[in-house]
Amino acid sequence: MKTYLAKANEIERKHVLFDAAGVPLGRLAVKIANSLRGKDRPTYTPHVDTGDFVIVINAAKVALTGSKNVKKTYESYTGHRSGHKIVTANIVREKNPERMIREAVWGMLPKGRLGRAQYAKLKVYAGADHPHAAQKPETVKL
């Protein structure tokens, strides 16, 4: 018996829709990362991008358990003096709710060329509207 290794030209990608309303951030990010990597398919190959295109809606309504809304922080650094910014999750949710999901998913993907290619297939929207209706995305229940 030989091990099957997927080839880049054999992969058929589909569009998958996740609704983030009321779902805990970490649990949602795991499902999204697995779908982007292709780990939810029988043809998963670690060194080939076998994942699907992922669309996430209602990012502003993602749930944070406990007191993470106040205690969880997001950091950024510009490279200049006094360019270190620390912002709490409730401020990020107001200004840029897509960032919460994007950073959680990015931390679960491999770093390097393959991870960047997988991350590029992620589209996150704060509200319920998205411009990908023509692709007929398959809705995933969480």
Give pLDDT tens digits for 104-134. Answer: 999 999 999 999 999 999 999 999 999 999 9
Residue 126 makes CB contacts below 8 A (sequence gap 6+) with 58, 59, 60, 97, 98
Give pLDDT tens digits for 53-95. Answer: 999 999 999 999 999 999 999 999 999 999 999 999 999 999 9
- % the chain with pLDDT above 70: 100
- Residue 94: burial class (beta carbons within 10 Å; 0-12, 13-18, 19+): exposed
What's the number of CA atoms in the CB half-sphere (13 Å) around residue 115? 10
Which of 12, 15, 11 lies closest to 132 in space, CA to CA?
15
CATH of segment(s) 15-64+98-140: 3.90.1180.10
